[in-house]
Amino acid sequence: MTSDPAEPAPAEPAPSTPAPASGPAPDSARWGTRFLYHLWSANAFTVTALAIVLALLIGAVLIVVSDAEVRATYGYLFARPGDALTASWERISDAYATLFRGAVVDPGAIGRALDGTGSWAAVFGPSSETLTAAAPLVFTGLAFALAFRGGLFNIGVQGQTILGAIGAGLAGFLLPLPVLLHLVLALLAGGLAGAAWAFGPGILKARTGAHEVITTIMLNSVAAIFIGWVIIQSWALDQSRQGAISHPVDQSARLPRLFGWLDPGLRVHLGILVALAAVAGVAWLLNRSSVGFELRAVGLNPQAARVAGMSVTGTYVLVMVIAGGLAGLGGATVVLGTAYALTTLVAGSVGFDGILVGLLGRAKPWGVFAAALLFGALQAGGRAMQTGSGISLELVQVIQALIVIFVAAPALVKATFGLRAIRIGRISGVAARGW
Amino acid sequence: MTAAVHTPTSEPVRFWSRERKVGLAVTVAGVLAAFGFGALAGDQPASFTLADNTSGAAVSINGLLGAVLFGLLGAAAGAGLWLPGARRWFGALLAAGIVAVVGSFLCWQLSDSALNIMPLGQVAQGSMRFALPLIFGGLAGVLGERSGVINIAIEGQFISGAFAAAMVATLLASVWAGILAAAVGGLVIAALLAVLAIRYLVDQIVVGVVLIVFALGLTGFLFEQLMRQDPSRYNQPARVPTWEVGLLSDIPLLGPVLFRTNIFVYLALALVAAVHFGLFHTRWGLRTRAVGEHPTAADTVGVRVLGMRYRNVLVGGVLAGIGGATFTLEATTNFSKGMTAGLGFIALAAMIFGRWSPVGVLLAALFFGFCRALAIYLGTIGSPIPSQFLNMLPYLATIAAVAGLAGRVRAPAADGKPYVKG
């Protein structure tokens, strides 16, 4: 985890880099020139990085527009332009610096830890928060990405996540089980609940052709209502606490904190390691197994897959069930890792964010992992920004949405920055099609 | 969508026609209602009043008798669908069957609860109130999808419309300015949708989902940064006034719903009529449908496919934005974060359930509104059925509809497919 601070550095291909002259790069050019030449083309990495830059820029505009004091300085912009620019710059840099300190590391904390006045826990706190926020997003991102590769648009990640949360939560406080077994069974219950919730759209798609986008959207709403019903049942509701909240999950079913021995405030838990395993598992499934091959074949061209003797309908059901299971694990991670009890909004927007994570990760397992880390960092940093700079957390939501918009429309980024055209790596998977 | 099943011109008459399938389903539901609800019904009477409160003249019926009688009526309506020539009376018989089964259900509920009376006027007004944004949103969806652009982002257009309405109506102290601003708010999201989907060919469902997140985030952010800091300046719009239409507003039951109400209801009903007329009786409508079903053919005869799509998506955005205004100028008088609470998705459901047609949207929206109003009323009289299950009904009904349980619903053929000339 100590390598975290160094990570974002290479991700910034400073937009001020002068665009190299167009035309083919001469072979004799120095290595650095050729590197720059290829860097400034519309490849996946550059487009993603520039999408982040663009989104942060628009976020900066929003910060300025929404701040009354800074807005006031624009009232006399032409009299004293310096005031407006200074005020804007200070506000923006303060906000984004706080975001960075809350997401990656606070340089001041390192200094304090080194000379003994501060604790090391404060140094690792931000990255711990980032990983904590990223863990469920990895699962939900994979749930979207896997289905996407199989040609299905799983908008039901949110509903499957909610069901996973319910399953894991109920198993967590209803079953009296010993330490290790309880956690495993609770995770399993979450995964199974999510899988069961996704089975419906899968079988309907296979049997009747009912479009999965419609059925899963409807099931999202049903799940949101259903959890509201579950919580207020007498066997779930915690009478001793205010409001609609379930009994707390037993200690034996909670995901243990990885660095609890260093400082109990470091919330990062086992979930991130399970998530890592899930990424590796899905990567193997997609790229190395015969199931994955069929899945991708069906996703790329169902007719061809059918002619080749693959069971398209069977694949649809299987894909949805696995995706639902992953989403369910995401919900379980939330309940067993951080929330420890069911509430109506326990899953928050983890499922919807998972769709964005899956898209940003270009529906590839390790891409999803990187995207989940980015979103986790934005959310951890966003919370710091909310308390530290008084900029509400929704800004992060806007930035996330913008990043995905720009990544999904690479032509937009290409035109904005004048990138050299190459064969654009569009988000692979389902081509645009109707229902 | 499904593998090309070509219907030959002389299709042999299938035994399990739509009428017979639906007829069987309604008959079974009616019989189940007669026995099930009849067995559960208490011996109290069930009373219905036409007014919007529990006083006044009431129609009473013994709970058990009512449940059985209505159930059998439903079964009879279902059986009627098996009669020769039932095709012509399909809609009426189906409606009668559904109403009878609902009536049987209500007789059980009312005879089994603490208060045995239901003011139909109140429920009707509640249904219209909940249906209102769904009508606007559903029409927005119809406009987009009939011309081939999937509009999942209705939720985003709702929330931006609601936000713009609250903000501008407060700043300018005029609800009319607020409605105008709501239209612009919906238009902005629709414009983003149109440009990204039509110009940049991004998958329309991707764009829709992302735009929802974007709109929810943006309005939430501005709410926290502006409205919460100074609510009296930014977030205290007035409510739209109620207009009565002379004597018509005194009609029992329907009068208060249709003729003693606000501009949104009048506008919604007028728009349903206008879009229906436009789609099926004008040149614009023919072209819109052509572009949504077979853009290449439309292009060949000189219809500007992309122009048509842009125009319809943008007009749809205006409608959905106005629908959003109902949240802040009619249902409540302030904006709060995420206040549309997924109603944009129910609007989508209403469009699908209404088979991509304006009148269908109206009926579906009213049905969904009725479910919600009923859930609330049954909750207040202490019904044993959790209101959550009634609230799920619209979504489950939509799933049943797309799964083809009661006649197949079919989207326009080119819905969601970007058009690239050449």
State mean pLDDT over B401-414: 71
State mean pLDDT over B302-331: 94
Which residue from A62, A211, A355 is facing B221, i.e. has the nearest CB? A62
Q: In chain A, positions 401-420, which contact chain B (CB-CB < 8 Å)?
A: 401-402, 404-405, 408-409, 411-412
Contact: A435, B201; criterion CB under 8 Å:
no
Inform me whether the pLDDT recorded for B349 exceeds 80: yes
Q: How far apart are CA A324 and CA A158, in angstroms?
A: 10
CA atoms within 13 A on the CB side of A233: 13
Give the gap in angstroms from C-alpha B394 to the nearest C-alpha of chain A: 9
The tokens for B53 are 């409160």
Does any CB of chain A come closer than 8 Å to the CB of residue B400?
A: no
Q: How far apart are CA A66 and CA B224, in angstroms?
A: 9
Q: Which helix (H) or strand (E) is B46 found in, with range?
A: strand B45-49
Residue B287, C-beta contacts closer than 8 angstroms, at least 6 positions apart: B298, B303, B308
Q: How far apart are CA A198 and CA A213, in angstroms?
A: 12
CATH number of B121-402: 1.10.3470
Domain with A209 in it: what CATH number?
Answer: 1.10.3470
Contact: A434, B348; criterion CB under 8 Å:
no
Inform me whether the pLDDT recorded for B336 exceeds 70: yes
Identify the pLDDT of residue B34.
Answer: 85
Inform me whether the pLDDT recorded for B279 exceeds 90: yes
Higher pLDDT, B23 or A135: A135
Identify the pLDDT of residue A280.
Answer: 96
Classify residue B191 by burial, with Cβ atoms within 10 Å: 0-12, 13-18, 19+.
middle
SS3 content of chain B, % helix, strand, coil (to 5): 70, 5, 25
DSSP assigned state of A103: H
Higher pLDDT, A193 or A74: A193
By mean pLDDT, which of A54-58, A332-336, A406-410 is the weakest? Answer: A406-410
Which band of pLDDT confidence, cut at 50, 70 and 90, is reported for residue B109? confident
> Ranked by mean pLDDT, which of A419-428, B67-76, B106-115, B137-146 comes out on top?
B137-146
Residue B196, C-beta contacts closer than 8 angstroms, at least 6 positions apart: A405, A408, A409, A412, B202, B207
Does any CB of chain B come closer than 8 Å to the CB of residue A394?
A: yes
Inform me whether the pLDDT recorded for B115 exceeds 80: no
Contact: A222, B203; criterion CB under 8 Å:
no
Return mean pLDDT, chain B: 85
Identify the pLDDT of residue B315.
Answer: 96
Chain B residue closest to A211 (CA)? B402
Inform me whether the pLDDT recorded for A72 exceeds 50: yes
Give the gap in angstroms from C-alpha A184 to the nearest C-alpha of chain B: 31
Which residue from B221, B386, B396 is facing A398, i.e. has the nearest CB? B221
Which residue from B150, B217, B337 is facing A401, i.e. has the nearest CB? B217
| CATH 1.10.3470 domain range(s) in chain B | 121-402
Inform me whether the pLDDT recorded for A432 exceeds 70: no
Identify the pLDDT of residue B98.
Answer: 85
Chain A to chain B, count of Cβ pairs less than 8 Å apart? 163
Beta strands in B348-387 (DSSP E): none
Contact: A218, B1; criterion CB under 8 Å:
no
Contact: B392, A222; criterion CB under 8 Å:
yes
DSSP bridge pairs for A199: none
Chain A residue closest to B351 (CA)? A214
By mean pLDDT, which of A270-284, B259-273, B381-395 is the weakest? Answer: B381-395
Identify the pLDDT of residue B365.
Answer: 93
Inform me whether the pLDDT recorded for A435 exceeds 70: no
Task: Tell me which of B198, B207, B210, B393 to substitute to probe the interface with A (most A C-beta atoms closer than 10 Å).
Answer: B210
Chain A residue closest to B218 (CA)? A398
Identify the pLDDT of residue A47.
Answer: 86
Q: How far apart are CA B70 and CA A135, in angstroms?
A: 54
Which band of pLDDT confidence, cut at 50, 70 and 90, is reported for residue B12? low
Higher pLDDT, A83 or A328: A328
By mean pLDDT, which of A164-178, A350-364, B1-15, B293-307 is the weakest? Answer: B1-15
Q: How far apart are CA B271 and CA B267, in angstroms?
A: 6
Quick one: angle between helices B387-402 and B358-380, nearest 10? 160
Identify the pLDDT of residue A4.
Answer: 40
Interval B124-168: pLDDT, tens? 888 999 999 999 999 999 999 999 999 999 999 999 999 999 999
Contact: B386, A229; criterion CB under 8 Å:
yes
State mean pLDDT over B77-103: 83
Residue B166, C-beta contacts closer than 8 angstroms, at least 6 positions apart: B178, B227, B234, B235, B237, B328, B329, B334, B335
Identify the pLDDT of residue A25.
Answer: 52
Number of structural domains chain A divides into:
1
Q: Which amino acid belongs to residue B201?
A: L
How far is C-alpha A187 from the geometric centre of its chain's CA atoms? 20
Q: How far apart are CA A297 and CA A306, in angstroms?
A: 9
Closest among B123, B194, B144, B132 to B372, alpha carbons compared: B123
Q: Considering the domain boundaries, does residue A37 fall inside one?
A: no
Inform me whether the pLDDT recorded for B344 exceeds 70: yes
Interval A382-397: pLDDT, tens? 999 999 888 888 999 9
Does any CB of chain A come closer than 8 Å to the CB of residue B398?
A: yes
Q: Considering the domain boundaries, does residue A403 fall inside one?
A: no
Q: Considering the domain boundaries, does residue A434 fall inside one?
A: no
Contact: B200, A222; criterion CB under 8 Å:
no
Interval A178-222: pLDDT, tens? 888 999 999 999 999 999 999 999 999 888 888 888 899 999 999
Inform me whether the pLDDT recorded for A161 exceeds 90: yes
Closest among B373, B398, B391 to B132, alpha carbons compared: B373
By mean pLDDT, which of A352-356, B223-227, B266-270 is the weakest? Answer: B223-227
Inform me whether the pLDDT recorded for B7 exceeds 80: no
Interval A87-122: pLDDT, tens? 889 889 999 999 999 898 888 888 888 888 878 888
Inform me whether the pLDDT recorded for B110 exceeds 50: yes
**Domain extent for A246:** 132-391
Identify the pLDDT of residue A207.
Answer: 86
Contact: A404, B210; criterion CB under 8 Å:
yes
Does any CB of chain A come closer than 8 Å to the CB of residue B341?
A: no
Does any CB of chain A come closer than 8 Å to the CB of residue B201?
A: yes
Give the gap in angstroms from C-alpha B362 to the nearest C-alpha of chain A: 19
DSSP assigned state of B407: B
Give the gap in angstroms from C-alpha B202 to the nearest C-alpha of chain A: 6
Return mean pLDDT, chain A: 85
Interval A416-428: pLDDT, tens? 888 877 654 454 4
Which band of pLDDT confidence, cut at 50, 70 and 90, is reported for residue A9? very low
Q: C-alpha angle A202/A347/B372, rounded to 5°?
A: 75
Contact: A432, B196; criterion CB under 8 Å:
no
User: Which residues from chain A sit within 8 angstroms of residue B349, using beta carbons?
Assistant: 214, 217-218
Distance set, CA B142 to CA A249, B131, B161, B180 (Å): 46, 16, 18, 21
Q: Which helix (H) or strand (E) is B242 found in, with range?
A: strand B242-244
By mean pLDDT, which of A212-221, A336-345, B242-251, B281-290 is the weakest? Answer: B242-251
User: Which residues from chain B sit within 8 angstroms of residue A434, using beta carbons?
Assistant: 1, 148, 150, 411-417
Q: C-alpha angle A81/A85/A86, rounded to 5°?
A: 115
Does any CB of chain B come closer than 8 Å to the CB of residue A179?
A: no
Contact A144, A351 (CB under 8 A): no
Which residue from A155, A396, A432 is facing B209, i.e. has the nearest CB? A155
3-state secondary structure at position A88: helix
The answer, yes or no, to whether ipTM is higher than 0.95 is no
Identify the pLDDT of residue B249.
Answer: 75
Contact B105, B33 (CB under 8 A): yes
State mean pLDDT over A354-383: 94
Which residue from B213, B388, B395 is facing A397, i.e. has the nearest CB? B213
Identify the pLDDT of residue B409.
Answer: 64
Contact: B202, A430; criterion CB under 8 Å:
no
Distance set, CA A251 to CA A161, A166, A179, A256, A272 (Å): 22, 17, 8, 9, 19
Which band of pLDDT confidence, cut at 50, 70 and 90, is reported for residue A10? very low
Give the gap in angstroms from C-alpha B343 to the nearest C-alpha of chain A: 9
Identify the pLDDT of residue A119.
Answer: 81
Which band of pLDDT confidence, cut at 50, 70 and 90, is reported for residue A26? low
Identify the pLDDT of residue B6.
Answer: 52
